[in-house]
């Protein structure tokens, strides 16, 4: 049975984090400010999060005994990536309260389940989609949705990985071959004006808080900059994000990514049941940042202020961008966040900078 914890969780308690990447690292730093200890579970020794943590366990996510022993040392458990295997999450959740819960994880892990949930249960618009399990079904889906369209694996896709844009009939065979028979969905290609996101939290008490709307620009399918506040109807986007969180009885920070269409309407691209790259600017905006917000939400603390004092822009430092560090270090109103990763690799997120722009 899950151990009961006092609500709100007391300083000195231990928060378990499944995953040791940069998101876990920044969650850990925020938790430490509030007097909590963190225990990181990651297959690799000295992950970015473990380098700043009090405790670490190194084992495979499939090592159920290791997961159980880890969770028994924790007062609550959370995760920093959505591909935590469901048995791992279930096992951790049997020994300590798991926030966000297993349902959020199941929904976010599978694009088909996610789209069905958002459209039919949360009643929030998504791009038109069809389930596709064979080249025959792909042809049928194209008849319904038309071209161009985007074929995506149902599971394990991120930063544009596992995706294929189909522009003509000739793209059908190569697109299906690229899926390697993995279950997929076909989405209508959205001719969007821009991509925006909402970072919001719901606590164990049901309290809700949201940051202003964020505008996101990508380079090579990877997030490049996030700017907030931005033009647009904060309230409408926030209301849709909150509708999804309430439908999931969600606890923690959740990111909702939208396509904004030319008529100003919003359709959801995807949700992330965790802190999110597009929310990193909150760290230097003069309010409670998204990492502390998540810790407060799962610990049952009041959520605090999410209204930024400044307009902010976050820029990711990807691969060799990190070599420009001496330039950023001299810049006024520029805040540097590095993840402590050993090797520079193309496409690897090494850190980010947050600039106050107004």
Sites of contact with ligand AMP (CB under 6 A): 127, 150, 157-158, 160, 187, 189-190, 195, 218, 221, 269-270
Phi-psi sector, 75: left (phi>0), alpha (psi -120 to 50), beta: alpha
Nearer to ligand AMP, 164 or 176 (CB): 164
Shortest Cβ distance from residue 269 to ligand AMP (Å)? 5
Burial class (CB within 10 angstroms; exposed 0-12, middle 13-18, buried 19+) of 69: middle
Nearer to ligand AMP, 57 or 269 (CB): 269
Shortest Cβ distance from residue 222 to ligand AMP (Å)? 9
Nearer to ligand AMP, 101 or 160 (CB): 160
3-state secondary structure (DSSP) of residue 270: strand
Q: How far apart are CA 346 and CA 204, in angstroms?
A: 39
Q: How far apart are CA 340 and CA 223, in angstroms?
A: 20
Shortest Cβ distance from residue 162 to ligand AMP (Å)? 8
Beta strands in 83-158 (DSSP E): 129-132, 149-153
Q: Is 26:292 a contact under the CB 8 Å cutoff? A: no
**Of all residues in this chain, which one has the CB nearest to ligand AMP in the complex?**
190
Nearer to ligand AMP, 139 or 221 (CB): 221
User: Please, which residues bridge with residue 196 across strands?
Assistant: 215, 258
Signed CA dihedral, 217, 258, 31, 282: sign only: positive
Q: How far apart are CA 27 and CA 10, in angstroms?
A: 17
Shortest Cβ distance from residue 254 to ligand AMP (Å)? 15
Shortest Cβ distance from residue 28 to ligand AMP (Å)? 26
Nearer to ligand AMP, 136 or 221 (CB): 221
């Amino acid at each position: 049975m899950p151990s009961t914890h006092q609500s709100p969780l007391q300083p000195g308690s231990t928060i378990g984090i499944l995953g040791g990447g940069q998101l876990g690292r920044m969650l850990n730093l925020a938790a430490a400010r509030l007097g909590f200890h963190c225990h990181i579970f990651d297959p690799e020794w000295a992950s970015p999060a473990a380098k700043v943590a009090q405790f670490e366990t190194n084992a495979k996510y499939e090592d159920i005994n290791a997961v159980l022993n880890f969770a028994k040392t924790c007062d609550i458990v959370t995760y920093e990536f959505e591909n935590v295997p469901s048995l791992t999450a279930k096992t951790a959740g049997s020994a300590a309260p798991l926030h966000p819960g297993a349902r959020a994880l199941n929904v976010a892990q599978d694009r088909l389940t996610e789209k069905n949930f958002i459209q039919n249960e949360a009643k929030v618009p998504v791009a038109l989609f069809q389930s596709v399990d064979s080249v025959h079904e792909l042809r049928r889906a194209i008849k319904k949705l038309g071209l161009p369209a985007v074929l995506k694996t149902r599971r394990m896709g991120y930063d544009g990985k596992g995706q294929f844009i189909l522009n003509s009939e000739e793209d059908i065979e190569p697109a299906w071959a690229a899926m390697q028979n993995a279950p997929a969905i076909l989405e209508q290609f959205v001719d969007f004006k821009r991509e925006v996101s909402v970072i919001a939290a719901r606590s164990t008490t049901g309290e809700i808080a949201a940051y202003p709307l964020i505008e996101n620009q990508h380079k090579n399918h990877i997030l490049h900059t996030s700017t907030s506040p931005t033009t647009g109807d904060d309230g409408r986007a926030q209301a849709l994000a909150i509708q999804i969180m309430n439908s999931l009885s969600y606890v923690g920070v959740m990111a909702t990514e939208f396509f904004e269409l030319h008529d100003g309407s919003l359709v959801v691209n995807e949700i992330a049941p965790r802190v999110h790259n597009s929310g990193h600017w909150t760290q230097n905006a003069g309010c409670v940042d998204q990492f502390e917000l998540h810790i407060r939400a799962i610990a049952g603390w009041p959520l605090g202020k999410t209204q930024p004092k400044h307009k902010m822009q976050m820029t990711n430092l990807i691969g060799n961008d990190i070599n420009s560090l001496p330039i950023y270090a001299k810049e006024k109103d520029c805040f540097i966040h590095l993840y402590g990763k050993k090797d520079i690799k193309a496409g690897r997120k090494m850190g980010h900078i947050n600039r106050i722009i107004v």
